[in-house]
């Protein structure tokens, strides 16, 4: 958290002087919901998301946007690949649990996060600031999500 604060505020000072810029930060699912077994990682995600909102409020009038991206973790990232490569039952069951916790029954890939960052850094997102963009395939809204047969979609 300390490093995030120092980096974001240093960038903010430069961008304030140039009257433009975009500061992007990255957090994970525990930033949006309570998530067991993450220790201090969850509170740090919450703090980074709050810092992003507060910094957006401070820098917006200087033409600087601040946006956070929340990811569910990408199975094609180095830490996930290394964990999966162990081939342990724990690794496989953990991965399946977090996939099962999503609405889309899949996790975002690194390219999904990168595409979101490119969009947010572009002029197409020029009016987006002070928010967290949730790229968790629905994890944040659907912890322990279980697919059901919705009554409103049946033909009855």
**Interval 28-53: pLDDT, tens:** 988 888 877 788 999 999 999 999 99
Residue range of the domain that includes 47: 20-147
Average pLDDT over residues 76-105: 87
Which DSSP string corresponds to 60-105? GGGTEEEEEEEE---TTSHHHHHHHHT--HHHHHHHHHHHHTSSSS
- The verdict on residue 153 lying in a domain is no
- The verdict on residue 95 lying in a domain is yes
Residue 145 has pLDDT above 60, yes or no: no
Residue 20 has pLDDT above 90, yes or no: yes
Average pLDDT over residues 87-108: 86
- The verdict on residue 26 lying in a domain is yes
- The verdict on residue 104 lying in a domain is yes
Average pLDDT over residues 96-125: 93
Contacts of 20 (CB under 8 A, 6+ apart): 63, 64
Contacts of 62 (CB under 8 A, 6+ apart): 15, 16, 19
Average pLDDT of every residue of the chain: 89
- CATH number of 88's domain: 3.40.50.720
- The verdict on residue 7 lying in a domain is no
- The verdict on residue 71 lying in a domain is yes
- The verdict on residue 2 lying in a domain is no
- The verdict on residue 130 lying in a domain is yes
Measured distance CA(116)–CA(113) in Å, rounded = 5
Q: How many domains does the chain have?
A: 1
């Amino acid at each position: 958290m300390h490093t995030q604060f120092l980096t974001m505020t240093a960038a903010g000072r430069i961008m304030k002087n140039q009257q433009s810029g975009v500061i992007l930060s990255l957090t994970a699912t525990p930033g949006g919901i309570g998530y067991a077994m993450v220790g201090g990682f969850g509170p740090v995600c919450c703090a980074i998301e709050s810092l992003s909102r507060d910094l957006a409020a401070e820098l917006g009038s200087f033409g600087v946007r601040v946006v956070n991206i929340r990811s569910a973790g990408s199975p094609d990232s180095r830490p996930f690949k290394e964990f999966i490569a162990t081939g342990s039952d724990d690794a496989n069951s953990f991965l399946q649990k977090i996939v099962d916790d999503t609405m889309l029954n899949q996790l975002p890939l690194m390219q999904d996060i990168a595409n979101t960052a490119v969009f947010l850094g572009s002029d197409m997102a020029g009016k987006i600031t002070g928010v967290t963009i949730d790229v968790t395939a629905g994890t944040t809204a659907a912890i322990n999500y279980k697919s059901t047969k919705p009554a409103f979609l049946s033909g009855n």
